[in-house]
Chain A
Amino acid sequence: MSNNYFKVIRSGINSTFQDKGRSNLYHLGIPFSGAMDTRNYLLANKLVETDLNNPVIEFAYQGPLLKYIGEKISFTITGDVSFKIKSKTSEIDGNCYETYEINNEDEIDILSTNKSVYGYLSLSGKFDVDYQWGSCSTNTKSNIGANNGKKFQNGQIINISKINKNFNKKRINYTNTKIEKIRVIKGTNFNYFSEIAINNFFKKEFKISKLSDRMGTRLEGPKLENINSTNIKSEGLIKGVIQVPGDGNPIIMLSDHGTIGGYPKIGVVISADYDRLVQLPSGSKIKFQQIDLSDAETLFKMYEMETQNLLNQI
């Protein structure tokens, strides 16, 4: 145990360490992982003036309750999150995208993400975590990454080092926008589906199922009828691919997805919409819209510029 640490009083539903993720390992079966919402992850680290690749705590729905032991440190939370900062003498409601100073024995109570899924906590210091293949990102399915590849447990200790003693308070104004129309590029097995299925895919609403997690977003809606084969020869997958298994319910691959899959691909979510897609909580209704490659590239360029502008404001 180091001199500065968090004690996890309540672990939250799915709290893990994440960073930018690990690349060049798909051929071994190891997923990319990393923070689900890249923009909010980057903003969290920029606000506390650390290296943008530093580990953060990612939480989903209900976050952790953390008791801090150690010398003065600042933290921030990004996303759309309700949280409280409790000291012996006061209790305040925190705002996202603002840094707060905490002292010995203060508590951060992350109550919930509001109409969204993921939030991020970063520090003006560094979490002492283990790295595997150049990343600390925890993949709980393969037990890879920080915290022995597991999500947070009640009672555990999180050590902190390299506290920046000259840190000055920061904040930005930012509100996350919600997405209702997910834009997709036609998949490589588009012609496996009936005309009715294609029509339904682009015209009807789909609901995000409770079974969604860091591996994938499962959707419920009109069953997409396959007229060719419900299996393909297993091949590589990437983030954003929409596979349709035999039951006709689409699944969108997210950051911890299996590296190989054998279901037909009806479409792929464009890169510009990924951060906002992962933030849709279960029960949300979405629609798909088809666009072409050059429009997707332009939209990503714009989204990237917006992210850079936000980072530059800090």
Chain B
Amino acid sequence: MIKNILNLGDAALYCDFGQDINREINSYVIKYFNKIQQLKIDSINNITPSYNKLIISFDLKKIKYNDLKNLIEKIQIDKDETLNKKILEIPICCEEPYSLDFYRLEEKLKLSKEQILKNFFNKKYFCYMTGFIAGMPFLGDLDENMRVQRLETPRVKVPKGSIGITEQFANIYTFESPGGWNIIGNTPMKVFDNSKEDKPNLINPGDTVIFKEINKEEYLNYE
């Protein structure tokens, strides 16, 4: 539930759901997001759900902070409502030249390549949010022994399709982009499709993702 609402500048509401990152808190964020979307409030420009926050930006020509805050505070959500989720399988190749940071991961995690791959693939991931760049999913949670910090010097260009890990999260670079996550492999699958006006994102908050290991030949022949 929303614990507190603050103003972020003069044209956005900052809704705080608490300090922790967990699925329960995140599911409330997603429920509020869905509910506010359904209400189609004309003065709202964007609603951005994240792990434990919801940022609502609005058109200052149409409404002011306090009035929109009152409106949002009155919204009731159904706590027990089950979210409509999908389970998605994403193929990944972790061979050269796709696994850019494997030496670093072996060194930092003090695990063998086999053990890292086993830990990484033997898991279901939950999508907490999408964004930063178009369609990028933030997935969790990696086991304690798989958690590693961002690169000290971020890459200027991370190749499109790269799967990165940092702390308890994994993500997918939907575009070539700067970035500091540890790159474990690459997917040939299209995770963001801007030709689809309706649903350009393959993975959405609340979805479950399973990674499937493929070899280089399968990667190159992927349709």
Q: Please report A residues at the B interface, Cβ cutoff 8 Å.
A: 23-30, 32, 132-133, 141-144, 149, 185, 187-188, 233-241, 258-261, 265, 268-271, 293, 296-297, 300, 304
Q: Please report B residues at the A interface, Cβ cutoff 8 Å.
A: 6-12, 14, 21, 33, 44-55, 57, 60-61, 64-65, 129-136, 138, 174-175, 177, 192, 194, 197, 200-201, 205
Q: List 29 A-B contacts (CB under 8 A).
A: A24-B47, A25-B46, A26-B55, A28-B131, A29-B133, A29-B136, A29-B201, A141-B175, A141-B177, A143-B194, A187-B8, A233-B51, A235-B48, A235-B50, A235-B53, A235-B55, A238-B8, A240-B9, A259-B48, A259-B132, A260-B132, A261-B132, A265-B8, A268-B9, A268-B10, A297-B10, A297-B65, A300-B60, A304-B61
B8: A residues at CB distance < 8 A: 187-188, 238, 241, 265, 268
Q: Which of B53, B65, B131 contacts A259 (CB 8 A)?
A: B131
Q: Is A29 within 8 A of B45, CB to CB?
A: no
Q: Is A236 within 8 A of B10, CB to CB?
A: no
CA distance A29 to B14 in the complex (A): 18
Q: Is B45 within 8 A of A24, CB to CB?
A: yes
CA distance A101 to B173 in the complex (A): 47
Q: Is A234 within 8 A of B55, CB to CB?
A: no
6 A-B pairs closest in CB distance: A236-B48, A268-B9, A236-B55, A26-B46, A29-B131, A260-B131
Q: Which of B10, B33, B205 contacts A300 (CB 8 A)?
A: B10
Q: Is B51 within 8 A of A27, CB to CB?
A: no
Q: Is A233 within 8 A of B52, CB to CB?
A: yes
Closest Cβ of chain A: how far from B17's Cβ, in Å?
10
B33: A residues at CB distance < 8 A: 27
Take A28-B134, A29-B133, A271-B60 as given contacts and tell me if A234 and B50 are in contact as well, using a CB distance cutoff of 8 Å: yes
Closest Cβ of chain A: how far from B133's Cβ, in Å?
6
With A259-B48, A260-B132 given, can you name 7 additional A-B contacts, CB distance below 8 Å? A27-B130, A29-B132, A234-B50, A236-B53, A237-B48, A271-B11, A293-B65
Q: Is A23 within 8 A of B45, CB to CB?
A: yes
A149: B residues at CB distance < 8 A: 194
Q: Is A271 within 8 A of B9, CB to CB?
A: yes
CA distance A296 to B60 in the complex (A): 10
A296: B residues at CB distance < 8 A: 9-10
Q: Is B10 within 8 A of A271, CB to CB?
A: yes
B54: A residues at CB distance < 8 A: 236
Q: Which of B7, B131, B133, B192 contacts A27 (CB 8 A)?
A: B131
Take A23-B46, A188-B14 as given contacts and tell me if A28 and B130 are in contact as well, using a CB distance cutoff of 8 Å: yes
| Residue of chain A at shortest CB distance from B135 | A29
A297: B residues at CB distance < 8 A: 10, 60, 64-65
B49: A residues at CB distance < 8 A: 27, 236
Take A142-B194, A185-B10, A271-B10 as given contacts and tell me if A30 and B134 are in contact as well, using a CB distance cutoff of 8 Å: yes
Q: Is B131 within 8 A of A26, CB to CB?
A: yes
Take A25-B46, A188-B8, A269-B9 as given contacts and tell me if A234 and B132 are in contact as well, using a CB distance cutoff of 8 Å: yes
Q: Is A233 within 8 A of B46, CB to CB?
A: no
A271: B residues at CB distance < 8 A: 9-11, 60
Q: Is A293 within 8 A of B7, CB to CB?
A: yes
Q: Is B48 within 8 A of A26, CB to CB?
A: yes
CA distance A180 to B177 in the complex (A): 33
| Residue of chain B at shortest CB distance from A30 | B134
Q: Which one of A23, A24, A149, A234 has the highest number of Cβ atoms from chain B below 10 Å of its Cβ? A: A234
Take A25-B46, A300-B60 as given contacts and tell me if A141 and B133 are in contact as well, using a CB distance cutoff of 8 Å: yes
Closest Cβ of chain A: how far from B94's Cβ, in Å?
25
Q: Is A28 within 8 A of B197, CB to CB?
A: no
Q: Is A234 within 8 A of B60, CB to CB?
A: no
B200: A residues at CB distance < 8 A: 28, 30
Q: Is B52 within 8 A of A238, CB to CB?
A: no
CA distance A296 to B9 in the complex (A): 9
